[in-house]
Structure 1
Amino acid sequence: MSSHGNSLFLRESGQRLGRVGWLQRLQESLQQRALRTRLRLQTMTREHVLRFLRRNAFILLTVSAVVIGVSLAFALRPYQLTYRQIKYFSFPGELLMRMLQMLVLPLIVSSLVTGMASLDNKATGRMGMRAAVYYMVTTVIAVFIGILMVTIIHPGKGSKEGLHREGRIETIPTADAFMDLVRNMFPPNLVEACFKQFKTQYSTRLVTRTIVRTENGSEPGTSMPPPSSMDNGTSLLENVTWALGTLQEVLSFEETVPVPGSANGINALGLVVFSVAFGLVIGGMKHKGRVLRDFFDSLNEAIMRMVGIIIWYAPVGILFLIAGKILEMEDMAVLGGQLGMYTLTVIVGLFLHAGGVLPLIYFLITHRNPFPFIGGMLQALITAMGTSSSSATLPITFRCLEEGLGVDRRITRFVLPVGATVNMDGTALYEALAAIFIAQVNNYELNLGQITTISITATAASIGAAGIPQAGLVTMVIVLTSVGLPTEDITLIIAVDWFLDRLRTMTNVLGDSIGAAVIEHLSQRELELQEAELTLPSLGKPYKSLMAQEKGASRGRGGNESAM
């Protein structure tokens, strides 16, 4: 059956419908859906309800965990728990973070190597180009939305004196941050890259310089002994007199110099670069590389089965993660005034991008309703809100896309690890918006050139954020430095950053997921051509087809059992 029947814009034959035609098809589709819903309600039984609860157990438990966590946190705030008590309370949430982070490293490596090895270089190049264009377009749109929102709402109106400062900011030169990014792309030790990143440190050294001055204060060479027009005795006397009149001044001062250092954390960017290159080499080895392909495919399958176990603990961990963060807030009043307007501006911008732009891109390219797709990603989005980490959410994102929405595994294995590393729509929007907010509270008028500089810098900084240690802080410093804004004013927005970081992560995860679906739709031809050439049995057909076969087989077994 043709897939064009699911499109609003195409006929069964693949010809494009006119405006009247697709409006009529939309009306018919809505009527059919309303009729099906009415019939379901009329024929609903207890067995149907139980089946629905079993099918959506993960999502229902996760949503319930968020509601219970928020309610529990506000119920406990009047008791003013100590820092130690809050840490004890948050311990179950910390366990979830550690479980997910435990799986991130093998998942990134195995999925990227398998995904690259399963496609030929030509197909990989086309998909990579589509992914790069998608990432760049969505990031630029996100930056534009952030600038538009902060300009319209103008949350920085007034003085910054009433704003609460929190923490201390270390100024990092932009050139050093950029060089750290490039260095981390090529780790000298793969084992060390699993737990460390290169980070430039700074030390001071004592510099001593000797300055020679003459008696009258001039530099040496400006006052020389007179020519020896007299006899040798007189000339010698003049030379001695000049030498005694020369002063030597020793100056000592401290100089800050960059030195090699490191920061704890997975060097995700370096591992992504290595895994992509390694997978391409294995794919080029054809039959000789089959053993390695089988190994990484089996490793990926084993990791995903572990995700299936850990996912049952996710609602408990999310509950305590969210509740613990709310309890850590010392003063809820900081959300009022200018900071409250700033928070609202960021929320509106993220909502427009995640709820408007990304679904519109999905609809325009695939001609399908984006909201059922977003509903299928609900558990990954809630996990992103709880963990505030795209990388930690990666195992859940894989599961939602592959098992829930049937996206081809060759696409998810290629797109998701790269997207979680370089595609940061929410971060780009936030950084551009925050930079202009800081300019507003300082009564600093930005011209068009400076706004353009902020746009370019925020886009570039968000793309390279995963390769920079302490990315959220460093990238914001880079954006502010590019237009001469005071970097110490980042302390004005740290008080609400923990909350906005969770919303940014949700936007980043949704952008990666929609990107995977869009690239799959655009790459159907390459995927079909690859089906006959693939040597991996588990990758011989799109994952969607494998899921359909497994469901058909399970229904067949169920029918045989009932017949018996």
Structure 2
Amino acid sequence: MPAVLKHPAVQIGAAAVLGIAFGLIVGEWALNLKFVGDIFIRLIQMAIVPLVMSSVIVATGSMSGAGTGKIAARTFAWMLGFSVVAAVIAWGLSNVIRPGGGLTLTGGEVDQELVDSAAPTSGWQDTLLNFVSTNVFNAMSSAAMIPIIVFSLIFGIALRNYVVATRKDMVFTFLEQVQQIVLLMIQIVMKIAPIGVFCLLAAATGDIGFAVVTSALKYLGTTALGVVIILALFVVVVTLRTGLNPLLLPGKLAEQTAIAVTTTSSAVTYPTVLKTAIERVGVAQKVSNFTLSIGLTMGSYGAVLNYMIVIMFLAQSGGMTLNVGQIVLGMGLAILLNMGTITVPGGFPVVAMFLATSLGLPIEAIGILIAVDWFTGILRTFLNVNGDTFVAMLVAEPDEIDKDVYYGNKAVVAEEIDAAELEKSFAKADLAD
């Protein structure tokens, strides 16, 4: 078998095309294959609770007090600000374009208990009250994700304090191992992803026809348009703050953009991004080192945009209308996933399932999203990588951007990076891509 055919994205893409073609040919008979796709979805779904719990606890328990100061404050402010902008733009575009509106999928929903848990309450006080469970085991059994996350955050903080006070890290090590084992489970499940995607799309196409294809294209188009809008906003804000000529930016960012879209990996692109910021844009080394390393795990604006579009797509595919509280919660989850407060390793299928479960959304259309995720991965990485460079320019004070370097009148050389120190950040960055 040629090496290219062994790539998971190629296999899933081929399975998606074949599934759509099969569904169009055989029609409603393809619904007989739906149970196979449902098994694939359930195999991912069953790992969500242990994965989220262990990941959030480990992420919280390993936090340190590093990264304070003015540069850190400016970095977090700009990253959070543009993350909010990305979520709002995604919501607005999804309402205008309605990428999931052409579907009439009503089956394959999550358990009724999950839908009930996401139903409107009598007020915002009750909504906040329901974020805290009186029994975490009940929350785990019904996959009520918000109470689980709250419990895990508090547990992680307590665990961190315990380890610092006693120097005993046996529980922390155990939970790290649980996280790795669940990740291995998901890797095993993803080996049958092409079969699952084929059956899901064959059944969906056999049921509703060519609308599957048009919905996938609208989903990709919504994401692409969002990327263009956010990129344009970045350029405008950078130009206003720095006074630099924006017409020079495409040439300066060309190399890192080419690497980003061909590898769909922020980690692989990081050394080039760092060199570009220092040697071609003129951002000071200390600003670039800090801001771009933080941006690896917290500057995934393409991910925030995509996650919010996923939420709206799934809601629209099931004919659901999200209330204000659910929309704000969805934006919050998308931003928290990006900012590293909630860490859900395992790739896009796990993230999509996490978001659907957290908000009680129908899950049947997830197969469509998985099928085209390679393309959305290109868009996410493109915005993630270039967004980090723009944020580094925004974080830098006027005297921390060398205009002679920017305009090509002076040459500087960036310091070499230690890739081993950023290994965990690289792994998290690729999950957001």
TM-score between both structures, scaled by the size of structure 1: 0.44
* Matched letter for residue 440 of structure 1: Q
Question: What SS class does the counterpart of residue 155 from structure 1 fall into?
Answer: coil
2:230 matched to which residue of 1? Answer: 353
* Matched letter for residue 98 of structure 2: H
Distance in 1 between the 2:239 and 2:260 partners?
A: 24
Distance in 2 between the 1:487 and 1:341 partners?
A: 18
Match of 2:305 among 404, 411, 429: 429
Structure with the larger strand share: 1
Question: What SS class does the counterpart of residue 133 from structure 1 fall into?
Answer: helix
State whether structure 2 residue 278 is matched by structure 1 residue 402.
yes
Distance in 2 between the 1:380 and 1:360 partners?
A: 20
Cα 1:84/1:379, change in 2 over 3 Å: closer
* 8 Å contact kept, 2:212–2:368: no
Question: What SS class does the counterpart of residue 375 from structure 1 fall into?
Answer: helix
Match of 1:364 among 240, 265, 270: 240
Offset at 1:178?
6.9
* 8 Å contact kept, 1:181–1:467: no
Distance in 2 between the 1:465 and 1:471 partners?
A: 17
Cα 1:86/1:476, change in 2 over 3 Å: closer
Distance in 2 between the 1:550 and 1:449 partners?
A: 50
State whether structure 2 residue 86 is matched by structure 1 residue 135.
no
1:501 matched to which residue of 2? Answer: 377
Cα 1:511/1:86, change in 2 over 3 Å: same
* Matched letter for residue 70 of structure 2: R
* Matched letter for residue 424 of structure 1: S
Match of 2:69 among 121, 125, 133: 125
Question: What SS class does the counterpart of residue 361 from structure 1 fall into?
Answer: helix
Question: What SS class does the counterpart of residue 493 from structure 1 fall into?
Answer: helix
Provide, for residues 60-94 of structure 1, a one-character-per-residue CA deviation record: whole Å limited to 9, x for no partner: xxxxxxxxxxxxxxxxxxxxxx5666349x9xxxx
Question: What SS class does the counterpart of residue 411 from structure 1 fall into?
Answer: helix
Q: How many residues align?
A: 293
With a CA cutoff of 8 Å and minimum separation of 6, indicate the structure with the bigger relative contact order.
Answer: 2
Cα 1:352/1:197, change in 2 over 3 Å: farther
Match of 1:146 among 81, 86, 90: 90
* Matched letter for residue 395 of structure 2: I
* 8 Å contact kept, 1:401–1:513: yes
Distance in 2 between the 1:366 and 1:550 partners?
A: 20
How do 1:80-91 and structure 2 match up within 5 A?
Answer: 86-87=5-6
Structure 2: gaps spanning 5 or more residues: 10-65, 108-142, 168-173, 185-196, 202-209, 414-433
Return the index of the structure with the highest Cα Rg.
1
Structure with the larger helix share: 2
Match of 2:176 among 198, 223, 235: 198
* 8 Å contact kept, 1:199–1:263: no
* 8 Å contact kept, 1:172–1:474: no
Offset at 1:134?
0.1
* Matched letter for residue 434 of structure 1: V
Match of 1:419 among 272, 295, 313: 295
Cα 1:342/1:383, change in 2 over 3 Å: same
CA RMSD of aligned residues (A): 4.5
Distance in 2 between the 1:445 and 1:388 partners?
A: 33
1:477 matched to which residue of 2? Answer: 353
State whether structure 2 residue 389 is matched by structure 1 residue 389.
no
Structure 1: gaps spanning 5 or more residues: 1-81, 91-115, 164-170, 190-195, 202-259, 265-328, 529-540, 552-564
* 8 Å contact kept, 2:91–2:309: yes
* Matched letter for residue 198 of structure 1: E
* Matched letter for residue 156 of structure 1: G
Percent of matched pairs sharing the same residue: 24
* 8 Å contact kept, 2:102–2:211: no
* 8 Å contact kept, 1:143–1:429: yes
Distance in 2 between the 1:417 and 1:466 partners?
A: 18
* Matched letter for residue 358 of structure 2: S
Tell me whether 334-343 or 389-398 shows the greater mean CA deviation: 334-343
* Matched letter for residue 414 of structure 1: F
Distance in 1 between the 2:97 and 2:4 partners?
A: 40
* 8 Å contact kept, 1:358–1:514: yes
How do 1:327-346 and structure 2 match up within 5 A?
Answer: 336-346=213-223
Distance in 2 between the 1:467 and 1:542 partners?
A: 38
Distance in 1 between the 2:341 and 2:267 partners?
A: 12
Question: What SS class does the counterpart of residue 548 from structure 1 fall into?
Answer: coil
* Matched letter for residue 321 of structure 2: E
Provide, for residues 189-248 of structure 1, a one-character-per-residue CA deviation record: whole Å limited to 9, x for no partner: 9xxxxxx993756xxxxxxxxxxxxxxxxxxxxxxxxxxxxxxxxxxxxxxxxxxxxxxx
Distance in 1 between the 2:375 and 2:320 partners?
A: 27
Cα 1:449/1:178, change in 2 over 3 Å: closer
